[in-house]
Structure 1
């Protein structure tokens, strides 16, 4: 055991970085030019500044001391139509739930399938999906 204490990670930040890398390799047109962020940007009525946009938010966090953090992640995808928003949300969910390469983000487990809707503030089509992300907690700074 390390003499340094375990340090909690920003799991939403890990998910953003992982999705940016993985979505850049996806050839599906729904994923083309997608922006991945932990905020919605500064667009009209507080919405995304461009489409497609994938928002990563943390809805709950538990730390199984000292080794593993378990975080409920909500992905919200704004796109040109609801069908494409659901498609991109599903692609992101699949990428995060597939076996992960070595690293801090261990795995993801789906909580809900993509659900389509309309943003009540911007009237843009969107979809949302949830998963539980598991991350390895490092020791020390």
Structure 2
């Protein structure tokens, strides 16, 4: 199964109305960033153990580790969770930036150092979510 089929299976497996909201964000990402790298992570580690919710990723960044090794990973992640949807904005140096910049205007969402979590798109300011995503996709990130 190719990457696009895996993403489609993941989206199709979500209940409504969560599925419609995930599809809306996914479509926005593909339209706004047409050349970005698409990822899908099934939530398992190297041994097959489930360690996270499955997620769709967009863009690419390099994570540099203290031991000198590095690996590529996505910049923006999209994931369903039990309460709704999580959008991950990864690689920001300032862990207070998202909450300070987008938290006051996004509406009914929880905003942490790298995650914006909300129940439905209808209860947040979608323009603010898009601005946070744009920042994550366009900021020079050191990893």
Q: Which has the higher strand share?
A: 1
Q: TM-score, normalised by structure 1?
A: 0.37
Q: Which has the higher helix share?
A: 2
Higher relative contact order (CA 8 A, sep 6+): 1
Rg comparison, structure with higher value: 1
Q: TM-score, normalised by structure 2?
A: 0.37
